[in-house]
Amino acid sequence: MGDLLVAPKVPVMASYLAGKIYQKLGRCGDLGQLAQDRPEIIEHWQRALANLADGHSRLAELSAHLSSLSDTLVWRNGRTGPFASLRFEKSHAHTVLVGPGGIEERSDVRIGLTLMAPYSRFPDHVQFHSRVFLLLSDGEVCLDDDIWFRATRGTIFFNEAGRKFAMRCTGEPFLALWGQIEDASL
């Protein structure tokens, strides 16, 4: 993940935030909680990973690493909000890899995954932390009420704290990896 997010062609702010996250990961956290009940949405996990593996070699490698974590991920359904797809609570889940409630428990950074079923739309919401995204599937994204843009697997972008954010997908599951600094003073 780190190699992909700090590559030379990555947008400056996305690479900057990813570098800060990577630096903090030099110190290890504690072992977090283990997987529990799985929401319905998890049926789309393997399909999303298969789609990711069928592409760029770096993304295929990331797909293999994520697949190896499958049994340890704690998935949580999300809450609905403005403009979300119908039954959003059942068509979306997220998991934290590193950070509060993650596989590696720590308070300074959070790295997670967002998974959505086909034909889902994430609700409009304001993010409280600046966040870097690595899309692991094709989809569309809207930042700060701007026009929607089409993004493909491997697209990396930055969303500044306090800005509105939304995303959606069509016929395939949507998977995104994201990271943020939890407390800028740390």
168-182 pLDDT, tens digit each: 999 999 999 999 999
In this prediction, residue 30 carries a pLDDT of 80
In this prediction, residue 148 carries a pLDDT of 92
In this prediction, residue 34 carries a pLDDT of 64
In this prediction, residue 36 carries a pLDDT of 64
Name 24's Cβ contacts closer than 8 Å, sequence gap at least 6.
108, 109, 181, 186
In this prediction, residue 186 carries a pLDDT of 41
Name 87's Cβ contacts closer than 8 Å, sequence gap at least 6.
none
- Name beta bridge partners: 93: 77, 115
In this prediction, residue 156 carries a pLDDT of 93
The per-residue pLDDT for range 4-22, each reduced to its tens digit, is: 888 888 888 999 888 888 8
For residue 127, the tally of other CB atoms under 10 A from its CB is 16
**Segments of the chain scoring below 70 in pLDDT:** 33-41, 82, 86, 184-186
SS3 95: strand
In this prediction, residue 174 carries a pLDDT of 94
SS3 14: helix
- Name beta bridge partners: 121: 168
CA distances to 64, 72, 102, 106, 157 from 131, in Å = 24, 24, 17, 17, 9
In this prediction, residue 63 carries a pLDDT of 92
| Cα–Cα distance, 82 to 65 (Å, whole number) | 34
